[in-house]
Amino acid sequence: MLRTLCGGGGRFFRLGPSLVPLRQSPRRSLPQQSAPAVPPAVGRWLLACSGAVAGAVVLGGVTRLTESGLSMVDWHLVKEMKPPRTQQEWEAEFQKYQQFPEFKILNHDMTLTEFKFIWYMEYSHRMWGRVVGLAYILPAAYFWRKGWLSRPMKGRVLALCGLVCFQGLLGWYMVKSGLEEKPDSHDIPRVSQYRLAAHLGSALVLYSASLWTGLSLLLPRHQLHETRQLLQLRHFAHGTTALIFLTALSGAFVAGLDAGLVYNSFPKMGERWIPDDLLAFSPTLRNIFENPTTVQFDHRILGIASVTAVTALYLFSRKISLPHRTRMAVTSLLAVAWVQVGLGISTLLLYVPTPLAATHQSGSLALLSVALWLMSELRRMPK
């Protein structure tokens, strides 16, 4: 006789003297709601922002090369957006500049016309910085209000907007170091190389984060076979990108100390591979950041190490089957690295002409960009 019984949270039927459990249908689990996809417009916005930051970096380099950075001796967020227009206003601005060390020591015979040139250079850099700030903040507010930003993306966008504001304040903090009176110093007035490196470093972080996030949103991940060689290539690419970043940052110390003008020969420094004054300062650690000879030597070593690492990365990648787009990124990295080395050597041998030096600085951004592109191509698929 067949009878259904219930008990103990289960259902059974009797078949003769024994009880046999009924098979229960599995419970249906509700589908988990995934985070909403970020629209491509956000990725394109971040790429545009990274381009604006790159423009600010290049313009800042030209401002430094033309020795224009100390021409504006005060800072106002809104007031200084209106440049002098009348002859009287220009003369008043020039008189303010004459009260500071750069005019007294270096430019004491400067004319008003010459002053206008360096003033407009610094003015252009500052105004472009404000454009960059608005390019981040206004679209970020729009995308936030539209609900186009996922929760993780909101954190990134807030960090980027905070960093761009910090960058503006850091720029003025850097300029102030060149306006200070230094009675015990007989050196040419210049901004602190430490503050210059901090200003450039934060700009590079802002640029890299914006570019990386934009590429991550716009470029689909590849279905790569996770082999041991691919894992090694990924780690190699990360290390090479870090080395390229460090080399670019060391260029700030070269610019801040005019270290490109001390040994204008290559591959030797003068008649020696290692110059006599490499460790002239005491304590020894000061040489790394304050001795122009050591700063140039370090930049050379980092540049050579970077191009060597890129070449080795390219040769290693030839052993691995990679998608076409990834292969393009590796090949582009090799080409840009060697062009950048050629620009650096030419800049040195020709005593740092402004157009060539500015191109060399732009090349460092191009090299960093391609390295980040390659890292984006080698991303893992999400589990």
Give the integer Cα–Cα distance in Å for 102 and 97. Answer: 8
What pLDDT score was predicted for residue 218?
A: 95
Q: For residue 313, with 0-12 CB atoms within 10 Å meaning exposed, 13-18 middle and 19 or more buried, which class applies?
A: buried
Residue type at 358 in one-letter notation: A
* Tokens, residue 366: 């191009």
What pLDDT score was predicted for residue 78?
A: 82
In sequence order, which residues have a C-beta less than 8 Å from that of residue 313 and are 6 or more positions away?
A: 233, 236, 237, 240, 330, 333
**How far out from the chain centre does Cα 137 lie?**
19
- Whose CA is closest to 204, among 372, 355, 65? 372
**pTM of the entire predicted model:** 0.88
Residue type at 290 in one-letter notation: E
- The DSSP H or E segment spanning 12 is strand 10-15
Residue type at 256 in one-letter notation: G
What pLDDT score was predicted for residue 27?
A: 46
* Tokens, residue 28: 């249906």
User: Which strand ranges, in their side-by-side order, compose the sheet holding 10-15?
Assistant: 2-7, 10-15, 18-21
**How far out from the chain centre does Cα 77 lie?**
24
Give the integer Cα–Cα distance in Å for 160 and 105. Answer: 39
What pLDDT score was predicted for residue 36?
A: 60
In contact, 178 and 75? CB cutoff 8 Å: no
What pLDDT score was predicted for residue 30?
A: 44
* Tokens, residue 24: 């229960």
Give the integer Cα–Cα distance in Å for 237 and 224. Answer: 16
In contact, 70 and 238? CB cutoff 8 Å: no
pLDDT tens sequence for the chain (383 residues):
444 444 444 554 454 455 445 454 444 444 444 446 789 999 999 999 999 999 999 999 999 999 999 999 998 888 778 999 999 999 999 999 999 999 999 999 999 999 999 999 999 999 999 999 999 999 999 999 999 999 999 999 999 999 999 999 999 999 999 998 877 666 788 899 999 999 999 999 999 999 999 999 999 898 888 899 999 999 999 999 999 999 999 999 999 999 999 999 999 999 999 999 999 999 999 999 999 999 999 999 999 999 999 999 999 999 999 999 999 999 999 999 999 999 999 999 999 999 999 999 999 999 999 999 999 999 987 76
In contact, 136 and 164? CB cutoff 8 Å: yes
